[in-house]
Structure 1
């Protein structure tokens, strides 16, 4: 799958992570409570680290948000999931690369392009082959397993 730009400027003004998910992914608020920032995925915790409207502050891992939701199972009945990884920072020069995700022993019964998402080691998955996600861009992929993996951002490079 390729990186697909998403126009965050025309999505109805300031929105929470759950509202953005409703608009672009159709899954509603995240099961972890809608993105309060306590999981390292960003959200509205009030800190400057995840504020998309900041000026003069470097990017952080809080600018990357992960959504995942169940999708149609494989023909053999194995549950399938769609994951979207978004760069929520829309400021110029806010490309984020070398995105690493906490992913446990991630594996999939459905092929996942390793350039898009691959497990490097236990609890370390690399996004987009280490290449940058530009401001407002999103990347998506699908995987299949008997359970969804809890995914959270562990580190990024700005």
Structure 2
């Protein structure tokens, strides 16, 4: 029987590679866990790092630059909601203009391959294309009136503000 001779450093490379793959797998599994009902996720929009979209088939989300006036003006909150019929998990999303004396409009959310088992009013939130969802039909969001909706899916979609405008009519 032939005997293979391998260099000791080749074995180290294989072990290190396997450890890295295991760490990535564990990180991926922990990030896909559902949130406890009492825990709220608060996702601020400014300079969000690239992330892999849940359900996006490996597409990546690239953050867009927001206009200077809209930096830190929008907040996206997402919490677990009571399950839908058939036990489908549900989520409640609220998009809030945190500026007390200004309007923000033409708000686009990075939403991956967003889909819902529940019908969402398209005037509040609708998917235009991969990773592009429009809020409030592009109209302005007043400071004291957040845009809220519920959706149902087997997992929550990561949502961050991709772009917005302060030049509202």
TM-score band w.r.t. shorter chain: 0.5 to 0.7
Deviating above 6 A after TM superposition, structure 1's stretches of 4 or more consecutive aligned residues are none
Give the C-alpha shift of residue 134 in structure 1: 1.4
Distance in 1 of aligned mates of 2:152 and 2:105: 26
In structure 1, list runs of 5 or more residues that go unmatched. 1-25, 41-57
Give, in angstroms, the shift of residue 61 of structure 1.
4.4
Residue 144 of structure 1 corresponds to which residue in structure 2? 152
2:70: which partner in 1?
Answer: 60
**Aligned pair 1:96/2:107, yes or no?**
no
Task: Check whether the contact 1:69–1:83 (CA below 8 A) recurs between aligned residues.
Answer: yes
1:1-158 residue pairs with structure 2 within 5 A? 30=41, 39=48, 59-91=69-101, 94-158=102-166
The alignment partner of 1:62 has SS state of coil
Instruction: Say which one has the larger Rg.
Output: 2
Q: How many residues of Structure 1 are paired with residues of Structure 2 in the alignment?
A: 112
More helix by share: 2
TM-score (ref. length: structure 1): 0.64
1:139 Cα deviation after fit: 1.0
Query: Structure 2 CA distance, aligned partners of 1:134 and 1:105?
Result: 27
Distance change (3 Å), C-alpha of 1:29 and 1:107: closer
What's the TM-score once normalised by structure 2's chain length?
0.60
Instruction: Name the Cα RMSD after superposition.
Output: 2.3
